[in-house]
Amino acid sequence: MPSSAGVLTPALTTFSRSVRNRGTPIESSIENLISLLKRRQIRDSKPCAMATAYLLRRVVETFKIADVSGLIERVHQVGERLLAAQPREMAIGNIVRRVLGVIREEAEEDRDGETSGYSDADTDSRPHSAGENGSRLPEAPGAVSRALLSSPLPRGASDQPSLEPHEDGALQRLPVLTAHASYASTNTGPVVTSMFSLLSHPRSNVALPTATPGSQSPGSHPPLSNTALANLTAAKDLRAEIVEGIQEILEELNQADDQIAGYCLEHIHSNEVILTHTSSITVQKFLLKAAAKRKFTVIHAETFPNDHESTHATVIGKAKGESDDELRPESFQKSLTAAGITVILIPDSAVFALMSRVNKVILDTHIVLANGGLVAAAGAKVVAKAASMHRTPVIVLSGVYKLSPVYPFDIDSLMENGDPAGVIGYGDGDMVNKVEFENPLFDHIPPELVDLYITNLGGHAPTYLYRIIADHYRAEDTELDKFNAYQ
Amino acid sequence: MPPKNTTKSAKAKQKPQEDQREESLQAVVLADSFETRFKPFTQERPRCLLPLTNTPLIEYTLEFLANAGVQDVFVYCGSHADQVEDYINASKWKLKSSPFRALTLLKSTASSVGDAMRDLDNRDLITGDFLLVSGDVVSNMSIEPALAKHRARREKNKDAIMTMVLREAGTGHRTKSKGSRPVFVIDPGAERCLYYEEMGSRRGRSRHITLDPELLTSNAEIDVRDDLIDCHIDICTLDVLAQWSDNFDFQSLRKSFLHGVLKDFETYGKTIHTYIVTNQYAARVKSLRAYNAISKDIMGRWVYPLCPDSNLVPDQSYRFRKGKVYQEDAVVVATTSIKKTAIGSQTNIGEDSIITGSTIGRRCRIGNNVIIEGAYIWDDVTVGDGSIIREAIIANETTIGKNCTIESGALISFGVSLPDHIGISMDRKITRHQESFFDNRLDPEDSDTSSVASSRLVYRHPSASSSASSISTLASLNDDLEPIRDSSRRSSFRSDPSDDAAETRDFHLEATASILDGLQKGDPADTIILELNGYRMSTNASQHEVRKAVVAAFMKRVSSLSGEDNASGISAREAVREVFSKYKGLVERTMFDKDVDEKVDQVDFLLLLQKEAFGRPNGDQLLLFVTKEVYDSDIIEEDGLLQWWDNERSAEGEMGKVRDLTEQFITYLKEAEEDDESEDEDEDEDMED
C-alpha cells in the first residue's frame, strides 16, 4: 500500500505490483489491465508489452494445466480481450503471440520427448547448446533467446540465395526455421537447432541445401544427448518452463534498449550530424552510448504538440521516467549535452530546411509492421519524407517486441487520434464551435522510406523483417484477434 | 492497488484508525441533479443513465473518479433510485476488478442538494477530504494538482474548506450555459473565490452584478470572470458538510451554499478556493444545450481518452473510422453518406440516407432516404423511409413513420410511436408518460409556475397505451397549446429552459428566508406582510409564489418548534396553533377568493400545504393539524376545504397518502353540512399565476 503517496493514479507500477500479489484473483487482474488500457493509463509499446507479459505470466501460473491446448486457448482468449481493449497497442498482440509460441514449443518438446526416444534427445538439448553459445553475447536467456540468437545475422547473410523461399521444400527451410517446431514435430530426423550454430560454421551453411537433414547436426549436439535424456524425466514441469520462457521475454524487454545501444558505434561516426524526433529513451540511450566515444551533433525536432514538453525536458536533461512513479534508471540519465554533444532543438517545421546538412536520421517507433513499414509518433513521416528527398539514410531503432506480424491492410485503423487540445486551446470558443481539429498521435511510414532497422538483434533491411517475424511468431498465431484480421 | 479484502459493508462506519492508516480519497456522486432540465426523459429515467454518445452519463463520471484514484465512492440516488441501483450493480464498477475499493449506493428522499448533504453528514460516512461531483461530469482531467494545492492550503489554514475546479472557456463557448452565467470574483493570488453570483441573460438583472465596494478596497487584485465552466467538481473538507448542516436552508450547491458561505466570511472566516483548469477537459451535462455541446466535444475527441472508441462499457466495440465515424460491430450500412457520427451495434441504415453529426444507438432501423442531422437517437428506434430529423433527441423504442419531419429542438421520449407523414415542429416535447402534477416534487427549486409551464410543453397523450389512430390528432392538439405558452417555450438547445425557474426560485428562497426570519424573531404580522409585499413587487412574483413561500416558511417554523432535536419541544399541534393563530393575518392576505364560489386560491394554498407536508416525516399529522387550524380560524372556508379535497391533484398517488389522517376531519365536515356540495369540480390544472 502506498500509504504515504495518498492518491495514486494507477499505472504500470501499481499494476505490476497488484499482479504479483498472490491474493489478487486473476480475473480481476485481467479486467484491471483492460480498464487501464482503455483509460490509456498504460500506453506506449514498452509499458503495454511489460504489463501483458506480467499478466500472462500470472495467467499461466494460475492455470491448472490439464492439457496444453486448454492453456493455449486460455492465453489466446486473454490476449484477444486485451487487444480488443486497445487494438492500436500492437505490442500487446506481439507479446501474446510470443507467449503462445513459448507454450506451443514447450508442449511440442514435451510431446516429442514422450513419443520418439531419439528425437527428444535432440530437442531437449537445444536450450543447453543455445545457452552455451549465447554466453558470449551480451544477453543469453535460454529457450526463447534461441530464437533471438538465430538472427543476429549480418545483413550480408540474408543475401545468401540458397535459403530463400523460392526453394520451397521443407528440408531446405528447416535449418532456418528452427523456432517452428511444427516442422520439427513432423520431421523424423534431428533438427538443426539455431541459426547461430549455422553461422558459426559458415561452410556447412552453404553446403546445406544438398545435405540431408540427418547428417548436418551441429557439433555441440551429440555429447549432450545422454545427459539430456537423463534430465528428461525431471524436467517435466511444463508450467515452470513456460513461466521461465515468459520471464525471458520480460528480460528481453528490459534489456532491449541497452542491446540496441550496443550497436551504436557501427552507425554513428565522428562529426556526423544526426537528426532525431521525439523524446525516445531508446534513441537517447543509443546516442549517449555513442557520445562516450565520439563527438557528433544532434538536431532534435521537438514533436509538437504531443511530445514537445518531454522532448524539451530530455534536451535539458530533466527527463522524468515517463509518468511512472518508479525510479527507473532513465530518470537518472545524463543529457546528451552533459556528455559533451551539441544538441540543437528545432521546431518540426524546420526539419526539411535542415535535412540537407544531416548525415543520418535516427527514429524511434511505436510499432513495426510485417511489410517493413512502421507506425511512429506523429511527425515522423515528415522527417522520413524529407530524408528520402535528400537521400539521407533513415535508421529506425526498435526492440524485437515492437515487430508485429500484422500486415497493414487498413492503415487508418492503426492510427490513434488524440485530444485536439494540444493543437488549439479549448477555451477558444469560436474556434471550437466552428472548426474541426484532428490530432493524430501516430504516422504511418511506408517501408520504402526506411533504410535500416536496428533491433536488439542487430541491423536489418526492411525487406528482411519477414525473416525475424518468422523466427519469433508462429504462423498459427498471426491472426490473433478479430480486430487485426481485416477483411 | 490496494488489497480488495478491505471492502466494507455499506452501512458500516469507517473507523478513525483506518482513516489514519491509509489516507484514501472518497468521492460523493450526486446521481440526481434535483432539476428538471431533461424533462420529459427524466420522468422515466434518471439523468445519470441517459446516454451520451451511447454511453450512460454516470460512466463518464465514474471513469473520471477512477482516473483520479478515488477509492471509496458514494453514489447518492434520488429519483429512480432503483434504476440507478440496478445499473450500478450490473456494471463493471461492482466487479472485483473495479478500481474502487467500495462503491456504495445511498438512497434517500432528499429533494435538494442541501438535503442530500445534510443526510450525508448524518450518516457519518465521510472521514476526510472528499470529492463532490454531480453524476453528469465529463472530464479527462487529473485531479492530482488540484488536490495537492488543496491539501497544501489546508495545512496552512484550516478554514479553507473547499476548492472548486473550474474550466476556463473563452467567450461564446458552446459548452457554457447561455441562460444564467455564473460570475466568479476571484483573488488570483490566493486563488480564493470572493464572491459569486449568477447572471441571467434576460430580464432586468441581465447584464450586471453588484459588487460590494469593500471587495475592491480590501483586495489588491481581483478577477471578475464569467468565462468559466463550472463543472461541479469540488474538493471538500468535512467542514463543508458541517456548513450544510448548520444552514438548513441551503438548497443548491452554488446559489445558496457558495453564496452563503462567502457572504458569511466576515463572521466565520471560511474561505472557498478555486482551481482553474486551462488545458484539460471538464464539463457538466447540466442542460440539453450542454448535452449537445458535450456530445460534440466527445465526438471531436476533446475528452480523449474518454471517446467512444475507448469502449468504456465492457460490451462496447466502437472503432474509429474514416470521416470521424465511430462504429460498433455488426452495423449494416447501405450506400449512405455518414460523417461525424457514432453508431451502435446491430443498427441497420438504409440506402441513400445522409447522416451527419449524430449519434445513433443500438438496434436501430433507419430506412432509406432518411436525413439525420445533429440528432441524438437512442436505442431501438425505428425511422421510416424518407423522414428528416434535425437536432432532435429521440429516446429508446420510439417508432417514427415514413416521411416524418422532426424539426430542431424536438424531444421525443420513450416508446412514442409516430405514424407516417407527421411533422413535429420546433421544440415540441412528446411523451407517453402520464405526468401527475406533483411528479416534480424532486424539484423544489423550480417553482410550481415553471413546472406547470414546462409540463404544458409536454404533450400528454390521453391514452398512454397509444394506439396509432389517436396519435393522428397530435398535430392539432399541439397547435392549440402553442399560443398559450409561446413566451415560455424556447429552443432546448439554444437556450437554457429553466431560466424562469431560476428567477422564481430566487424569489422563493429569499421570501421564505425573510418570512422565517420574521417568524423566528417574532415580528408582528404586519411587518412581515409589508416586507413580503415589497419583495413581491420588486420581483414581480405571482400570488401563487407568495403562498408557496408562506407555506414553506410556516411549515419550517412549525417543525423547528416541534422538532425532536429541539429540547424545549412542544407538540406539533401546539406548534401549529401557535404559529398560525399569531400570523393569521399574514396567511389571510395571501388569498383573495372569500366571496367567490370557486375557491381557487384556497385550493392552491391547501395543495401547497399538502405538498410541503408530503416531504416531511410526520407530514400526515401536520397536514391534519394545519387544515383543522386554518378551518377553525376561518382562514380557509369550508367550501375551499372541500374543493381541495375533491381536487384530483391532491388525491393522486403518493400525494394522496399524506391526506389519510385528514380524511376523518373532512368526512366530519361533509356529514355536518351535506346540503352544500359543490357540483362543479375544479378540474382545471392550471393555476392562476
Residues 6+ apart with CB under 8 A from B683: B648
d(CA B505, CA B510): 8
The partner residue sitting opposite B69, judged by closest CB among A7, A84, A419, is: A7
Q: Which residue of B has its CA nearest to A441?
A: B304
Residue A364 clears pLDDT 90, i.e. is over it:
yes
Q: To probe the interface with A, which of B177, B229, B304 has the most A CB atoms within 10 Å?
A: B304
Question: Does residue B685 register a pLDDT over 70?
Answer: no
Q: How far apart are CA B491 and CA B374, in angstroms?
A: 14
SS3 B304: coil
> Identity (one letter) of the amino acid at B136?
D
Question: How distant is the Cα of A16 from the closest Cα of chain B, in angstroms?
Answer: 9
- Rg (Cα) of chain A, in Å, rounded? 23
Residue with the larger pLDDT of the pair B441 and A59: A59
- With contact defined as beta carbons under 8 Å apart, do B271 and B160 qualify? yes
Residues of A in contact with B63 (CB under 8 A): 39
- pLDDT tens-place string over residues B212-247: 888 888 888 888 888 888 888 999 998 888 888 888
Instruction: Supply B450's cell numbers.
Output: 415553471
Pairwise CA distance, residues B114 & B118, whole Å: 6
What pLDDT digit, counting tens, does each position of B325-350 carry? 999 988 988 888 888 899 999 999 99
Chain A residue with Cα closest to B306: A39
Residue labelled with grid coordinates 514537445: A308
Q: How far apart are CA A139 and CA A149, in angstroms?
A: 9
A215 pLDDT band (50/70/90 cuts)?
very low
Q: What is the pTM of this model?
A: 0.69
DSSP annotation of B80:
B
Give residues with Cβ within 8 angstroms of A77, minimum separation 6: none
Smallest Cβ distance to A9: which of B4, B142, B305? B142
Reported as type and span, the H/E element at residue B466 is none
* Sign of the CA dihedral running A475, A481, A482, A483: negative
- Record the cell numbers describing residue B76, joined without a space: 447518492
Is A437 in contact with B300 (Cβ distance < 8 A)?
yes
Given an 8 Å threshold on Cβ–Cβ distance, is B304 in contact with A21? Answer: no
Residue B415 in this model has a pLDDT that exceeds 60: yes
Task: Match 499482479 to its residue by C-alpha cell.
Answer: A19
pLDDT in tens, A105-114: 888 887 776 6
Report the residue from A32, A38, A421 with minimal CB separation from B310.
Answer: A38
Q: A9, A35, A86: best mutation site toward chain B, by most B Cβ within 10 Å? A: A35
For residue A416, the distance in angstroms to the closest alpha carbon of chain B comes to 8
For residue B651, pLDDT beyond 80:
no
Does position B119 have pLDDT exceeding 50, yes or no? Answer: yes
Burial of B61 per CB tally in 10 Å (0-12, 13-18, 19+): buried
Note the pLDDT of residue A415. 86
Element (H, E) at A435: none
Q: Residue B270 is which amino acid?
A: K
Residue numbers in B near A10 (CB within 8 A):
1, 69, 99
Four-residue CA torsion sign, B13, B16, B21, B22: positive
**CB-based contact B312 A429, cutoff 8 Å:** no
Give the DSSP letter string of B554-574. Answer: HHHHHHHHH-TT-TT---HHH
Q: Do A7 and B281 count as a contact with CB atoms less than 8 A apart?
A: no
Q: What is the pLDDT of residues A173-197, one digit of tens each?
A: 434 434 443 343 333 444 444 555 5
A431-465 in b/e form (b: 16+ CB < 10 A) is: bbeeeebebebbbbbbbebbbbbbbbbbbbebebb
Backbone φ and ψ for B418, nearest 5 degrees, come out as -105, 135
User: By the 8 A CB rule, do A399 and A456 touch?
Assistant: yes
Beta carbons within 8 Å of B81's beta carbon, 6+ residues apart: B46, B105, B107
Q: Do B69 and A426 touch (CB under 8 A)?
A: no
With a CB cutoff of 8 Å and minimum separation 6, the contacts of A166 are: none
Question: Which range, A99-103, A164-168, B653-657, has the best average confidence (pLDDT)?
Answer: A99-103
Which of A26, A30, A38, A40 is the best substitution to test chain B (most B C-beta atoms within 10 A)? Answer: A38
* pLDDT of A214: 41
| Distance separating alpha carbons of residues B116 and B616, to the nearest angstrom | 14
Contact (Cβ atoms closer than 8 angstroms) between residue A361 and residue A326:
no
How does the average pLDDT of chain A come out, rounded? 75
Nearest to A433 among B63, B174, B303 (CB): B174
pLDDT tens sequence across B71-114? 899 998 878 888 988 999 888 888 877 888 888 888 877 778 88
Query: Which residues of chain B lie closer than 8 angstroms to A85, CB-CB?
Result: 311
- Judged by CB atoms closer than 8 Å, whether chains meet at B92 and A439 is answered as no
Residue B174 is nearest to which of A17, A412, A432, comparing CB atoms? A432
Q: Which of A432, A434, A436 to mutate to test the interface with B (most CBs of B within 10 A)?
A: A432
DSSP structure class, residue B420: S
Q: Cα(B520)–Cα(B189) distance, rounded to whole angstroms?
A: 41
pLDDT in tens, B247-274: 878 888 888 888 888 888 888 888 899 9
What's the pLDDT score for residue B649? Answer: 72
Question: CB B317 to CB A433 under 8 A?
Answer: no
User: Is the Cβ pair A31, B311 closer than 8 Å?
Assistant: no
The per-residue pLDDT for A98 is: 93
Share of chain B above pLDDT 90, in %: 14
Do residues A359 and A294 make contact, with C-beta atoms less than 8 angstroms apart? no
The conformation of residue B377, written as its DSSP 8-state character, comes to E
* Nearest residue of B to residue A438, measured between CA atoms: B300
SS3 of B393-409: the string is EECCCCEECCCCEECCC
Buried b (16+ CB within 10 A) or exposed e, B590-600: bbebeeeebbb
- SS3 assignment for B607-619: HHHHHHHHCCCCH
